[in-house]
Structure 1
Amino acid sequence: MQLLEGTLRTYPWGSRTLLAELRGLPAPSPTPEAELWFGAHPAAPSMLGGHPLDDIIAADPEAALGARVAGEYGNQLPFLVKLLAAGEPLSIQAHPSREQAQEGFSRENSQNIALDDSRRNYKDPNHKPELIVALTPFRALAGFRPTERTQQLFATLGGLDRYSSMLVTDRPEEGLRAVFTTLISLPTTLRMSVLNDVKAGAETTTNSGAEPWIVDVAQTFLQLTDRYPGDVGALAALMLNLVTLEPGEALYLDAGQPHAYLSGLGVEVMANSDNVLRGGLTSKHVDVPELARVLNFAALERPHAKSTKNGGAEHFELPIEDFRVSRHTLANGDTLQVDTDGPAIVLCTAGRAAIGDLELQPAQAAWIPAAEPSVAFTSTGDTPAELFLVSA
């Protein structure tokens, strides 16, 4: 068991304060700090004793991962842990299923599209289900809103009547598919006209007596159009659930579910993949046909992740096998016992926790290989420690 050094990613949408303050560093930071990666993804592996974690795993997969995980996941760590800090909205995006990723990865390889080519959609043959647990108030767009509520929203905003009629309540998935693909494919002149009409309606709505959720959506639309003028992603966003997570609440997003994180700090755990299909709110590559091909157009009535609590432990209920996630709140002297036949990462997000000579502080993590015997982390600070345990 050793300290796992996270790898910082400085994307333009990152925050200049959230990660810096969590790490106890001066804020604002010189550049936007978007993500701190803890894992073995080849694009940005964490360091363990001065060596990349993916190299350490490759040198002895069974010791690092255990026979079960090494055999099931081809000697690869099946998950990636991140601290994600959104200072500005991320792109509207979705991730493929494993089958879609395998086919897309093979197809783009056969087309000789380089892995670092900006047009590349599939960087690996893996799926990317993900869980985000809020550490601060966290706003996100997540999954398609039920048809009836989107019809109500369109009627209130105005400018979308011709598209609202396409939302067929007895065949909701067909209607959502028709409207979404139509909106994100609008030619430039028509797109700008629709955006202007909806913007006028949204400005009126924010000062009206509309239901609070509609006002919230209207205000968010105006913020997105100000940040990304003329971007069709603002129209696509009108069809997605707008969610505000309080600290400790979580979202789970499976293959094909559209989403965009808007603001806040959270712990994100995902399958070990970098496959992203984008649909707007970005200057990066957007592939509308491929996005439409992988999207799940079933409405997501409640995107919040379910969990069970037992004392200071909370276990998130996930429909996948790639990773397990639990959150532990430890008073001074309390312990977290880690005993697994596979690999594990323990991430500290509050307080302090020690094991032997190693003490974890916020934004620090420990790597526990499968060969390690059972270990225990003990809360040592004056304030409760918060630890996330991720294992396979």
Structure 2
Amino acid sequence: MTTAMERKLFRLEGKVQHYAWGGYTYIPALLGIPAGNTPSAEYWMGAHQSAPSQVITPGGTITLDKLIQERPQEVLGEAVWQRFGQLPYLFKILDVKDMLSIQVHPSKTEAEKGFARENEAGIPLNAPDRNYKDANHKPEIMVALSDFWLLHGFLPHDALQQVLKTVPEFATLTSIYEQEGYKGLYKAVMEMPQEQVNTLLRPLAERVLPAYQANQLDKSDPAFWAGRAIANDPEGMNRLDRGIFSIYFFNIMNVQPGEAVFQDAGIPHAYLEGQNVELMANSDNVLRGGLTPKHIDVPELLKHTRFEGVHPVIIQGSAVQDGLEQLYHSPAPDFAASKIELQKGQVYKSTSNAAAILIVMKGTATITGSDTLALHKGQCALVTNGEHYQISTDNEVVIFKAGPGQF
């Protein structure tokens, strides 16, 4: 890579992340690799330092972060490089078999402060009690690939009041909410001694667990997810997870394939089940709030949570390129997600004015520009700044595309 980049179109290979909540078959089937005994939870495509993608160039294979470091303007374009100083997004495919931890992401300003503070304290980046892995915020958009379930933000006021009045175990919490609002209620359950959590939640657990195990509960009912959390927890009834409160306090969303949800800084959320495409700012900062054995820093979590009722919004794609592409709008400048669907004879044309990553989710595609790439299901391409390219197929193809948001 010592001469000017003549090629602007490359094969890219992401990295599988083997988190405990992932499934065993979906991502291996997508990538055409054998399923193993380890869960495959996420497939990362991007330049995050903890798992950068590999770019196949004529001169050999190079990690995407290193390629950007060597050729920032040529890969990203001057405007993106000046604004972000890096590839501003991280692109993922997720297979959620078991519930993820309840989490909140910090704002950009707070992430910078927290990252600097933990660095100064000498906390290693891979320490289990580390909150900030980088100095970036982490707004994110997800597009469902299957019937998908998630928790998203606090219930609106009337709905939360109804929950507190109708779930008998929460009767003692009603006055806290009425006097101190969302923050007082959440602070109370997050700071509650574990013995008191057990005392409050054990009658609920004894009620919902048999119903869950007998398949008597609907997924729209928080009791279903509370039952699953208890059934899957190695601690069982001995140490009930305080994240169960949040299952009842948050919106339960059901999203259909092709529908999207945006989650900004401060919105508490958790993925519950299904597969999705996820696109976020280039960050791995997570402040956890339950449904996890991992580190929970309650003061830091409370500092960054938005204590307000949320009316969930499902985003539908907007048709562009004569209907060949569905664009999912979000307020984040860091990223934009879209879905390209082509039948034989249809041609998608574009000029990359930044750096885009594409993954084939179904069928086969030929991408033609400064090189020609023949891609099948699970394969990816990197299109760098200034590339004029077109996509065609011999049969049909579905591609998800990621790029910066407003460039």
TM-score when normalising by structure 2: 0.88
Cα displacement (A) at 1:42: 0.5
The range that moved more, 227-236 or 241-250, is 227-236
Cα displacement (A) at 1:242: 0.9
Partners of 2:348 and 2:186 in 1: CA distance? 46
User: What's 2:40 paired with?
Assistant: 33
- Indicate conservation of the 8 Å contact 2:326/2:340, yes or no: yes
User: What's 1:327 paired with?
Assistant: 339
| Amino acid in the other structure paired with 1:16 | Y
Partners of 2:374 and 2:168 in 1: CA distance? 56
Match of 1:218 among 220, 223, 238: 223
What does residue range 138-153 of structure 1 map to in structure 2 within 5 Å?
138-153=148-163
User: What's 1:188 paired with?
Assistant: 194
Match of 1:376 among 387, 390, 394: 390
Partners of 1:268 and 1:363 in 2: CA distance? 15
Cα displacement (A) at 1:307: 3.6
SS across alignment from 1:166: helix
User: What's 1:126 paired with?
Assistant: 136
* 1:278-332 Cα distance to aligned partner (Å, 9 max, x none): 1111121111110110011122111423542342321112111111111121112
Partners of 2:72 and 2:173 in 1: CA distance? 53
- Indicate conservation of the 8 Å contact 2:212/2:228, yes or no: no
| Distance 1:4-1:334 versus aligned 2 partners, 3 A rule | same
SS across alignment from 1:352: strand
- Indicate conservation of the 8 Å contact 1:157/1:205, yes or no: no
| Amino acid in the other structure paired with 2:226 | F
- Indicate conservation of the 8 Å contact 1:183/1:236, yes or no: no
SS across alignment from 2:141: strand
* 1:64 maps onto 2:70 in alignment: no
Partners of 2:95 and 2:350 in 1: CA distance? 27
Cα displacement (A) at 1:226: 1.7
Cα displacement (A) at 1:363: 2.3
- Indicate conservation of the 8 Å contact 2:362/2:398, yes or no: yes
SS across alignment from 2:204: helix
Identity of aligned residues (%): 36
Cα displacement (A) at 1:338: 2.5
Cα displacement (A) at 1:206: 7.4
Cα displacement (A) at 1:337: 1.9
Cα displacement (A) at 1:25: 4.0
What does residue range 201-240 of structure 1 map to in structure 2 within 5 Å?
201-202=207-208, 216-228=221-233, 229=236, 230-240=240-250
Partners of 1:312 and 1:104 in 2: CA distance? 42
* 1:197 maps onto 2:207 in alignment: no
* 1:145-181 Cα distance to aligned partner (Å, 9 max, x none): 112112222333211011123333xx9xx51111112
Cα displacement (A) at 1:46: 0.3
User: What's 2:6 paired with?
Assistant: none
User: What's 2:363 paired with?
Assistant: 351
| Distance 1:164-1:380 versus aligned 2 partners, 3 A rule | farther
The range that moved more, 41-50 or 321-330, is 321-330
Partners of 1:296 and 1:119 in 2: CA distance? 23
Partners of 1:326 and 1:211 in 2: CA distance? 35
Partners of 2:378 and 2:104 in 1: CA distance? 27
- Indicate conservation of the 8 Å contact 2:359/2:380, yes or no: yes
Partners of 2:116 and 2:296 in 1: CA distance? 20
- Indicate conservation of the 8 Å contact 1:143/1:259, yes or no: yes
SS across alignment from 1:159: helix
| Amino acid in the other structure paired with 2:374 | E
| Amino acid in the other structure paired with 1:56 | L
The range that moved more, 18-27 or 197-206, is 197-206
User: What's 2:5 paired with?
Assistant: none
Match of 1:270 among 270, 277, 280: 280
- Indicate conservation of the 8 Å contact 1:19/1:33, yes or no: yes
| Amino acid in the other structure paired with 1:30 | N
Count, aligned residues: 380
User: What's 1:365 paired with?
Assistant: 380
Cα displacement (A) at 1:201: 4.7
TM-score when normalising by structure 1: 0.92
Match of 2:328 among 308, 316, 322: 316
SS across alignment from 2:203: helix
Gapped regions of structure 1 (runs ≥ 5)? none
Gapped regions of structure 2 (runs ≥ 5)? 1-8
- Indicate conservation of the 8 Å contact 2:259/2:317, yes or no: no
* 1:179 maps onto 2:213 in alignment: no
- Indicate conservation of the 8 Å contact 2:317/2:328, yes or no: yes
SS across alignment from 2:131: coil
Match of 2:12 among 4, 8, 15: 4
SS across alignment from 2:340: strand
Partners of 1:242 and 1:366 in 2: CA distance? 35
Partners of 2:367 and 2:325 in 1: CA distance? 19
- Indicate conservation of the 8 Å contact 2:217/2:223, yes or no: no
* 1:239-279 Cα distance to aligned partner (Å, 9 max, x none): 11111211111111000111111111111000000110011
Partners of 1:155 and 1:130 in 2: CA distance? 33
Partners of 1:189 and 1:154 in 2: CA distance? 21
Cα displacement (A) at 1:205: 8.2
